[in-house]
Amino acid sequence: MSKPRFALAVLAFGYAFLYLPIVLVMGYSFNESKLVTVWSGFSFKWWRALLENEDMLAAAWLSLQIALTSATLAALLGLAAGYVLARVPSFFGRTLFGSLVIAPMVMPEVVMGISMLLLFVGANQLIDGPPFGFLTIAIAHTTFSLAFVAIVVQARLADFDRSLEEAAMDLGATPWVTFLTVTLPLIAPAIGSGWLLAFTLSLDDLIMTQFVAGAQSQTLPMLVYSKVRLGVDPQINVLATIVVCVAATALIISGRLTRRR
Amino acid sequence: MSSKTSLRAVIAVPYAWLAVFFLLPFALVLAIALGTNDPDSVPPVALGFSLENFARLFTDKLYVAAWLSSLRIAAVSTLGCLLLGYPMAYAIARATPARRPLLLMLVVLPFWTSFLIRVYAWIGLLSENGMLNQFLRWSGLSDHPGTILGTEWAVHLGIIYAYLPFMVLPLYATLEKLDVSLLEAASDLGAKPIAAFLTVTLPLSLPGIVAGCLLVFIPAVGEFVIPDLLGGTRTLMIGKVLWDEFFTNSDWPLASAVAICLLVLLVGPIALFQRQQAKSLERAE
């Protein structure tokens, strides 16, 4: 077969397209000038400003707590959902269940945002809770990220050697013991990378959060959004640099987890 | 606990979660959409049964224009994603197996960074005195370049940029599994490379094309952040209409009606996506 030169050229162009904007933003985080489009010298000024920005730090802390909570919940629920989809061929309402698991992946976020807000408003009128803020945001994030965990777990279980489970059962292990000692360790990497995905999605979510956050809470994306609406901001460039570095690290860890089969 | 009861619990817990937090809310959205706006009460809704909100969405010129331009922008951007993503996925699938994980990781990495920040990165590039225009002036390619920021072009660019990984991954998954001997057979039988591509590779990668296009098109129709930050005031998209009706005008019933219509519009593509997903998992088994 001839070398697909055209495809290679497009590949190079595609990577340039993907990375050039990010690299420029990262570079300009070291720019002395407040004018983001003029380079006036190297400086850590905006790094210092960001690290002393208490609103930003408080928002980041809240986002981190929400992400840890919702990713853990999503991992547990997604594990159950993925297991059911892969291993339980028929039960009452299985088709609906499959749709409910996958639909949040592609559902426009504005639709999910308004629907969850209306649910919480209704719940507050009926049972006086949950309070808007941490809890409502965490529930919203769990709901939409559990789909991603379920897909990863389901895919892992689909190409899984079932003879190991059968061997454990033949040797007298109960289904629970088999699950805990054989299945779970083998699919743990998939759960781990699903957790990381859920964590990242939560940390990054703006739209659903804006709908369900209530008046008191502000997550990091909400704060970033309120700033970037006004145009380019050097402190956001610094934040972008940090986010890209953290994401690259997380991805490398996740890659290691899933490759170690 | 017997294994039957525990299996029931494993089914029931995620089922109940999704029913309460995903399915039930849509019923509420429908109920609110049938109500009317009542600015004096908290929340600002008077329940009722009126189709007035839906009628407005399909008669008011502004809303009709927003529907049409959402569909157009999403379709054009999806096509752009496909034209860029297909050769990329093809090149990755044809690379040596040792190189593929790195090449794939480079496509996925931006997806793991903040969506908001990736969209933001284009503001500094595309604004009037942004880096692109500075480059055009400096290089002498254009003395008075136009401004892309605030136009539909910027929205297309933003969507292609943000959603490219969703296109490349499913395409790669089908292209990687493609049996190269089929291509060899085609060329042995005298097919030129282009003919072999059109008659063998392209049809066999169709599931990947469909999955990738749906993964881009469906969320792009309801996109809010990209038209809001890059499209300026002239770009109309339905996700932005929903947001503005809700947050700026506090018209909850109208925003709910937009959500219901968006859902009805996308239910076909979403169902198609689910069927594809189920089929590809069956094949994996």
User: Per residue in B152-166, pLDDT tens?
Assistant: 899 999 999 999 999
Question: Alpha carbon A84 to chain centroid distance?
Answer: 22
Q: Is residue B53 part of a domain?
A: no
Asked if residue A250 lies in contact with residue A32, where contact means CB atoms within 8 angstroms, the answer is: no
Question: In chain B, what residues touch A83 (CB-CB under 8 Å)?
Answer: 10
pLDDT tens, residue by residue, B91-108: 999 888 888 888 998 898
Q: Residues near B279 by Cβ (< 8 Å), separated by ≥ 6?
A: B207
Tell me how far apart the alpha carbons of residues A133 and A61 are, in angstroms, rounded to a whole number: 14
Q: Contact, A250 vs B112, CB < 8 A?
A: yes
Residues 6 or more apart whose CB falls under 8 angstroms from that of B46 comprise B35, B36, B37, B38
- Considering only the beta carbons, identify the residue of A174, A203, A250 that sits closest to B3: A174
> Would you state the pLDDT for residue B18?
93
Please say whether the beta carbons of B218 and A106 come within 8 A.
Answer: yes
**What part of A 15-34 touches B (C-beta under 8 Å)?**
15, 17-19, 21-22, 24-25, 28
Q: Which residue has the tokens 């370049």?
A: B145
Q: List all residues of chain B from 134 to 153 with a beta carbon under 8 Å from chain A.
A: 134
Please give the Cα distance from A201 to B136 (Å, whole number): 36
Evaluate if residue B285 carries a pLDDT over 60: no
Say if B144 falls within a structural domain. Answer: yes
Residue B116 in contact with partner chain A when CB distance is under 8 A: yes
Q: Buried b vs exposed e over B21-40: b needs ≥16 C-beta within 10 Å?
A: bbeebbebbbbbbbbbbeee
Q: For residue B49, tell me if it sits in a domain.
A: no
Residues in chain A within 8 Å Cβ distance of B32: 118
Q: Closest CB to A251: pick one of B1, B13, B109.
A: B109
Instruction: Enumerate residues 6+ apart whose C-beta is below 8 A from B143.
Output: B137
* Structure tokens given for A137: 């945001």
Q: Which residues of A touch B219 (CB under 8 A)?
A: 106, 108-109
- The residues in B 50-79 lying below 8 A from A, measured between CB atoms, are none
Number of domains chain B is built from: 1
Alpha-carbon distance A133 to nearest alpha carbon in chain B (angstroms):
16
Residue B98 in contact with partner chain A when CB distance is under 8 A: no
d(CA A149, CA A189): 11
Report whether pLDDT(B23) > 80: yes
* CATH number of domain containing B141: 1.10.3720.10
List all residues 6 or more positions away from B123 whose beta carbon is below 8 Å from its beta carbon.
Answer: A228, A231, A232, B130, B149, B229, B230
Q: Which among B92, B99, B94 has a CA at the least distance from the CA of B167?
A: B92
Alpha-helix runs per DSSP H in chain B? 3-18, 24-33, 52-59, 61-94, 100-112, 115-126, 131-139, 152-177, 180-188, 193-196, 202-204, 206-221, 225-230, 238-243, 252-284
Mean pLDDT in chain B?
Answer: 87
Q: CATH number of the domain at A55-259, out of 1.20.1260.10, 1.10.3720.10, 3.40.309.10, 3.10.20.30?
A: 1.10.3720.10
Write out the residue range of the structural domain in which residue B187 sits.
62-252+261-284
Give domain status of residue B180, yes or no: yes
Look at B148 and B1; give whichever has higher pLDDT: B148
Which residues on chain B are in Cβ contact (under 8 Å) with A115?
A: 25-26, 28-29, 259
Which B positions 167-226 lie with beta carbon below 8 A of chain A?
A: 180, 183-184, 187, 193, 214-215, 218-219, 221-225
Give CA angle at B274 (B273, B279), nearest 5°.
100
Euclidean distance between CA atoms B31 and B63, whole angstroms: 21
**CB–CB contact A22 B121 (8 Å):** yes
Q: How far is A12 from chain B (nearest CA, A)?
A: 8
- Which phi and psi (to 5°) does residue B99 adopt? -85, -20
A253 reaches B (C-beta below 8 A): no
Does the beta carbon of A77 lie under 8 angstroms from any beta carbon of chain B?
yes
The pLDDT score that the predictor gives to residue A250 is 77
pLDDT for B284: 59
- Interface residue of B2, B7, B22, B149 to substitute, partner A, most A CBs within 10 Å: B22
Q: What span, in angstroms and rounded, lies between the C-alpha atoms of B59 and B52?
A: 10
Res. B148 pLDDT band, cuts 50 70 90:
confident
Contact status, residue B3 vs residue A176, Cβ threshold 8 Å: yes
CB contact under 8 A, B270 and A6: no
Instruction: Kindly state whether residue B35 falls inside one of the protein's structural domains.
Output: no
Cβ-based contacts of B114 with chain A (< 8 Å):
203-204, 221, 224, 240, 243, 247
The token duo for A116 is 């969850």
- Give me the average pLDDT of each 10-residue run along chain A (261 residues): 69 92 87 72 82 89 96 96 89 88 86 94 89 94 93 85 86 86 89 89 92 92 90 84 85 71 45
Could you give the CA distance from residue B238 to residue A82 in angstroms, rounded to a whole number?
Answer: 33
* B212, B273 contact by CB (below 8 A): no
Q: Report residue B283's pLDDT band, with 50, 70 and 90 as the boundaries.
A: low
Q: What is the pLDDT of residue A2?
A: 45
CA neighbours closer than 13 Å in the CB half-sphere of residue B179: 4
Residues in chain A: 261
- The DSSP line for A61-83 is HHHHHHHHHHHHHHHHHHHHHHH
B25 located within any domain? no
Tokens encoding B154:
């910027």
Interchain contact, A146 vs B17, CB within 8 Å: yes
Please give the structure tokens belonging to residue B27. Answer: 């019923």
